[in-house]
Amino acid sequence: MKFTIQQIADVLEGTVEGDPSIELSKLSKIEEGTAGSISFLSNLKYTPYIYTTKASAVIVNNDFKAEQKIEATLIRVEDSYQAFSKLLEYYQMAKMSKTGIQEPCFIHSSATYGDGLYLEAFAYVSENVTIGENAKIFSHTHIGQNVTIGDNCIIHSGAKIMSDTVIGNNVVINSGCVIGADGFGFMPLEDGTYKKVPQTGIVIIEDHVDIGALTTIDRATLGATVIKKGVKLDNQIQIAHNVEIGENTVIAAQTGVAGSAKIGKSCRIGGQVGVAGHISIGDNVGIQAQSGVGKKIRSGENIQGSPAFNYGDWNRSYVYFKNLKSMDSRIAALEKKNS
């Protein structure tokens, strides 16, 4: 995709200083700019790079004053950081503007889909699937039987959406995700072996959810595993059967949530957190990275540690943790003196 500097300035409602006809085809950091790229200057510590950058265009604030000659064409805007963010969104939308069905693909005759579908080569759509308008489904994606996908969804290469999954509108599922695989359900037998418990439930993903690469969300044993509206999941997260995650909760990479745990809305969960099964976590809870949560957490708490407890108490306790060696030496010296 190529755009002239003037076209980009029009999108950003900015003014051009230099040649507006130059074509741009990529985005770059200001220190790594090359011909045909556009960058931005927001943080003042990067100001020296504007005089040496090879980028063809740089977005700057209206009040920026050059102290040396600048080779790049400038686009002046009210706020260069916000303008570049807007440009990223515009660029992403342009990339996702594809429509049509590439070959080879497989679409079962019973499947239905809305206008604006883009189905990349080697995608598979099974029987009784329903896909909404403007969906973008990329190569090597598997859509299982009876799946429902809403409007404006993006499913990236290699994702597997297993049977009966329900996906809302404006959902992004990144590469390698597995949604709706069997939960980890096994019944111990008297002889020490385990018998598989059938997982007959589904996964429901509500609107405006983002799911990172290689994240797995298991189907419920009965009922549904539910990811509520606005949830953001990072890469490589495991969500077990019958879990419920509340609206607008954000979870960082490598976190594992065990079966039937209930997480409230607007929680912030760091990376590598472990949440035990069958517990509840309230709303607006903050959980620091690498914490182990094994009991009910009330709304509004901030916790850390394994087992996790109040974040403020953890910080105060840490003063003692790190001094235990010296404290032990002092106690030993006192005992020796008094003996």
Count CA atoms within 13 Å of residue 163 on its CB side. Answer: 8
Contact 149, 129 (CB under 8 A): yes
β-pair partners for 131 = 113, 149
Q: Which of 171, 146, 174 shows the shortest CA–CA distance to 160?
A: 174
278 is annotated as an active-site residue: no
Give the tokens for residue 99: 């429509």
Give the tokens for residue 44: 């003042």
Residue 74 — left, alpha, or beta (φ > 0 → left; ψ -120 to 50 → alpha)? beta
Instruction: Give the C-alpha separation, 38 to 72, whole Å.
Output: 9
Phi, psi (5° rounding) for residue 327?
A: -65, -40
Residue 221 — left, alpha, or beta (φ > 0 → left; ψ -120 to 50 → alpha)? alpha
Instruction: Give the C-alpha separation, 159 to 149, whole Å.
Output: 13
Please enumerate in sequence order all residues whose Cβ is within 8 A of that of 139, keeping only pairs 6 or more positions apart, or say none.
Answer: 120, 121, 122, 123, 157, 158
Given 142, 156, 241, 278, which residue is catalytic?
241
By three-state DSSP, how is residue 327 classified?
Answer: helix
Instruction: Give the C-alpha separation, 167 to 154, whole Å.
Output: 11
By three-state DSSP, how is residue 240 classified?
Answer: coil
User: Beta-carbon neighbour count of residue 188 at 10 Å?
Assistant: 9
Instruction: Give the C-alpha separation, 161 to 164, whole Å.
Output: 9
Catalytic residues: 241
